[in-house]
Structure 1
Amino acid sequence: MAAATDSTPWIAMYHSVGDCSEDPYRITVTPDRLDRQLYWLSRRGLRGVSVSALLAAPTRAGLVGLTFDDGYADFLDHALPVLTSHGFGATLFVLPGRLGGENAWDPLGPRKPLLTADGIREAAEAGVEIGSHGLTHVDLTQADDVTLKSEVVESRALLEELTGTQIGGFCYPYGTLDQRAVDTVRDAGYRYACAIDPGPINGPLALPRVHIGQQDTAVRLFLKHRLHRLRRRPVEGI
C-alpha cells in the first residue's frame, strides 16, 4: 500500500493569482487564499515543490507538486512572493508563442496579461521551474500533425533559448490528451507531462492533477487530498 501511495503523486493545478471578482472559468485565487492554502499544506507537514523535484525525490511522502498554468503576469507580483514566504517551489507552464500577450483563448474573458520573456527569465532566476504549455494554447487532440509538432517541439526550443536551461516538463492545454499527443511529447524529449484527468493513458507523460480554486478552504483541501490518494491509480513508470 505504501508503494502505491508513493507512486500516486499529488499535483495541484493553479492558474492566475489576483483579483477573482470576475472569474467565469474559476481559474483565479487571491494572494490571501493562496497563502492560506499553502499554510494548510505546511501545517500538515506537506511541502510544495516543482514537478521535477517531486518526481526526482527518493520518496514523495510529504511532497506536493505545485503547478501554475498559462504564465499569467500576476505570477511574479502575487504568486511568487507567497511561494517564497513559505519556502515552496513550483512549476510554471508558459506559452512562448504569446509572450506579453493575453489569454485570447478564453472567450468569456476577462483578459489577463501574460508574462514577457523578461518575466519568464525572472521567474526562472528565482528558482521556479519553467515548463511548456505549448506555443499558443490549442487543444492538441484537435490539431493537425504540423500544428501539433510545432506546439510541442518549437515551444521547448524557444523556452530553452529564452531561459538557457533544459525544459523537461510539458502541460497539455485544457488538460486534453490522446496517444498521438503523448507520443509527440515523448519524441520531443520531455521527461514528464501534466494533464488533468488522463483517463486510460498512464505514465510520467500523463500525470493527473487536482484543480485548486478560490473556494478551496481547509475542508475542501483535505477532501481533495484524501480523495486523490484513494481514487487515483498509481502512475506507472515514475
Structure 2
Amino acid sequence: MPVSADSAPLRGPVPWVAMYHSVGDYSDDPYRVTVTPERLDRQLRWLRARGLTGVSVADLLAARARGEGRKLVGLTFDDGYADFVDHALPVLRRYGFGATLFALPGRLGGDNAWDRLGPRKPLLTADGIRQAAAEGVEIGSHGLTHVDLTKADDALMKAEVVESRAALEQLTGSPVNGFCYPYGAIDRRAVDAVRAAGYTYACAIDPGPLNGRYALPRLYIGQDDNAVRLFLKYRLHRLRRRPVEGV
C-alpha cells in the first residue's frame, strides 16, 4: 500500500509532469539529458496540437485543487543549465507555455560537476535565473549543490533543503515553493525534510511506495521522443501510474 507524502489526502488521476534537463547540442550526451531546441519545439507543438498546455508545476497543482487542469502538462527543467535562457525560453515563449526551473544556487555560474562522464555544461548565473523568473518561469530548488538526499547527514540535508530555498528567494525576491530531489532519489526522511522546510510540493521521478504532493512522479523526455513515443508515454503514464493522493 502506498505511503502518503501529503497531509491532506485526496485522490485523482496522476498529473502528467514532463522532466527535461539541458536544451542544446546533444552530440556528446552520455547521460541522455539533452534535447535540441528543434526537438523541444516539435514536442511542445505535439502538446498544443492535442489541446494540451504546458504550465509550471505550481500552476498545475493550483488548477487541480480547483478541480480543473485535465488538459495541463507540467514542464520541468532540472539543474538550471545556462542553455535554458538561450534555447528553452524562446520555444516556451513561442507556444505561450509556462514551466518550472529547478536550480542549484550553490553552483551558480558553475557546471554539472556531478556528471562524472561529462561533458561539462555551464549552469545559469544569478542574472540568468532572475531573467527566467522575470519571464514568468517558476523557480524551484534542486538542492544547493546536487546531493543525493538519501545519503546526506542532518547538516548536509539542512543545507541542501533549507539554505537552497533561502538563497533562491533572496535571489529572485519571490517565494520558492517547489523542490526537486536530485537524481530522483527519495525516502521518507527526505520527504519530511522538504515538508518541514516549507515547500508546498516536491518532484521525484519514480517515488516507489511514497505518494502525494511531496513525491510527485515525472516522466523523462529525451531527444528520441518523437510524436509516436510521446503518444505512448502519455497514454501509458496515465494507465500504469496509480492515482496520486493529495492532488
The answer to whether TM tops 0.5 is: yes
Q: Hey, what does 1:167 align to over in structure 2? A: 176
What is the distance in 1 between the residues matched to 2:155 and 2:239? 39
Q: 2:37 aligns with which of 31, 46, 57?
A: 31
- 1:54 counterpart = 2:60: yes
Instruction: Quote the residue 2:159 is aligned against.
Output: 150
- Partner residue, 1:125: 134
**Partner residue in 2 for 1:234:** 243
Greater RCO, 1 or 2 (C-alpha within 8 Å, sep 6+): 2
Could you list the structure 1 runs, at least 4 aligned residues long, displaced by more than 3 angstroms after superposition.
none
The correspondence for 1:86, drawn from 72, 87, 95, is 95
Residue 50 (structure 2) aligns with: 44
Aligned mates of 2:112, 2:104 — CA distance in 1: 10
Q: How far did residue 235 of structure 1 move?
A: 1.0
Shift of 1:237: 1.1
Distance 1:233 1:176 in 2: 19
Structure 2 portions without partners, runs of 5+: 1-9
Query: Residues 51-105 of structure 1, C-alpha deviation per residue, up to 9 Å, x if partnerless?
Result: 0000000312110000000000000000000000001000000000000000000
Tell me the distance in 2 between the aligned counterparts of 1:189 and 1:232.
27
Q: Which residue in the other structure is 2:214 paired with?
A: 205
Root-mean-square deviation over aligned CA pairs: 0.9
Percent of aligned pairs sharing the same letter = 76
Matched residue type, 1:41: L
What secondary structure is seen at the aligned counterpart in 2 of 1:35? Answer: helix
Q: Matched residue pairs, number? A: 235
CA distance in 2, matches of 1:215, 1:84: 23
CA contact (8 A) 2:13 2:238 kept: no
Q: 2 CA distance for matches of 1:84 and 1:195?
A: 26
Cα distance between partner residues in 1 of 2:156 and 2:22: 26
* Structure 1 residue 16 corresponds to structure 2 residue 22: yes
Other structure's SS at 2:113 match: coil
Please, which runs of 5 or more residues in structure 1 have no aligned partner? none
Paired with 1:157 and 1:87, the residues of 2 have a C-alpha distance of 29
Amino acid at match of 1:34: L
> What letter corresponds to residue 46 of structure 2 in structure 1?
W
SS of residue paired to 1:72: coil
Give the letter aligned to residue 203 of structure 1: G
Give the structure 2 partner of residue 72 of structure 1. Answer: 81
Name 2:4's counterpart in structure 1. none
Deviation at 1:234, TM superposition (A): 1.1
State how far apart, in whole Å, the 1-side matches of 2:29 and 2:22 are.
Answer: 10
TM-score (norm 2): 0.94
Secondary structure in structure 1 of the residue aligned to 2:228: helix
